Amino acid sequence: MKAQSYSVQDLFKFYGNMLLIRRFEEKCAQLYRKGVIGGFCHLYIGQEAVAAGMREVTSPDNDSIITTYRDHAHMLMCGIDPKVIMAELAGKITGCSKGKGGSMHMFSRQRRFYGGHGIVGASSSIGTGVAFSHQYKKDDGVCFCYFGDGATNQGQVYESFNMASMWKLPIVYIIENNFYAMGTSVNRSHANIDLYRRGEPFNVPGKAVDGMKIQEVIAAGCEAASHARSGKGPVILEMRTYRYLGHSMSDPATYRTKEEVEQVKSTRDPIEHVKNTIAKKQGLKESEIKDIESKVSNIVEGAADFALNSPTPQEKVLYEDVLI
Ligand X SMILES: Cc1ncc(C[n+]2csc(CCOP(=O)(O)OP(=O)(O)O)c2C)c(N)n1
Q: Is 120 in the site for ligand X (CB under 6 A)?
A: yes
Please report whether residue 221 would count as binding Mg ion according to CB under 5 A.
no
- Binding residue (CB under 5 A) for Mg ion from 148, 206, 234, 270: 148
Residue 182's binding partner out of ligand X, Mg ion, none, with CB under 5 to 8 Å set by partner kind: ligand X
238 binds Mg ion (CB under 5 A): no
Query: Rule CB under 6 A: is residue 148 a binding residue for ligand X?
Result: yes
**155 to 194, contacts with Mg ion by CB under 5 A?**
178, 181
Report which residue's Cβ sits closest to ligand X: 148
Helical (H) or strand (E) element with 187? helix 186-189
Q: Answer yes or no whether residue 181 interacts with ligand X by CB under 6 A.
A: yes
Burial of residue 320 (CB within 10 Å: 0-12, 13-18, 19+) is: exposed
**List of residues 6+ apart from 313 with CB closer than 8 A:** 91, 92, 93, 98, 99, 100
- Per-residue burial over 156-183, b if 16 or more Cβ lie within 10 Å, else e, is bbbebbbbbbebebbbbbbbbbbbbbee
Compute how many other C-beta atoms are within 10 angstroms of the C-beta atom of residue 12. Answer: 19
User: Is residue 149 within the footprint of ligand X (CB under 6 A)?
Assistant: yes
DSSP string, 31-43: HHHTTSS-S----
Query: Binding residue for ligand X (CB under 6 A) from 166, 182, 279, 318?
Result: 182
Nearest to 239 by CA among 108, 70, 109: 70
Query: How near is the Cβ of 68 to Mg ion at its closest, in Å?
Result: 9
Nearer to Mg ion, 56 or 149 (CB): 149
Taking a C-beta distance cutoff of 8 angstroms, is the pair 247, 182 a contact? yes
Query: Binding to ligand X by residue 143, rule CB under 6 A?
Result: no
Contacts of residue 319, defined as CB under 8 A and 6 or more positions apart, other chains included, come to none
Our finding on whether 49 is near ligand X (CB under 6 A) is no
Q: Which one-letter DSSP state was computed for residue 139?
A: -
Stretch that binds ligand X, among 27-35, 141-149, 278-286, 299-307 (CB under 6 A): 141-149
Interface residue with Mg ion among 63, 149, 238, 269 (CB under 5 A) is 149
Number of residues binding to ligand X, judged by CB under 6 A: 17
Number of H helices, E strands in the chain: 11, 7
Name the site residues for Mg ion (rule: CB under 5 A): 148-149, 178, 181
Name the site residues for ligand X (rule: CB under 6 A): 68, 70, 118-121, 147-151, 176, 178, 180-182, 247
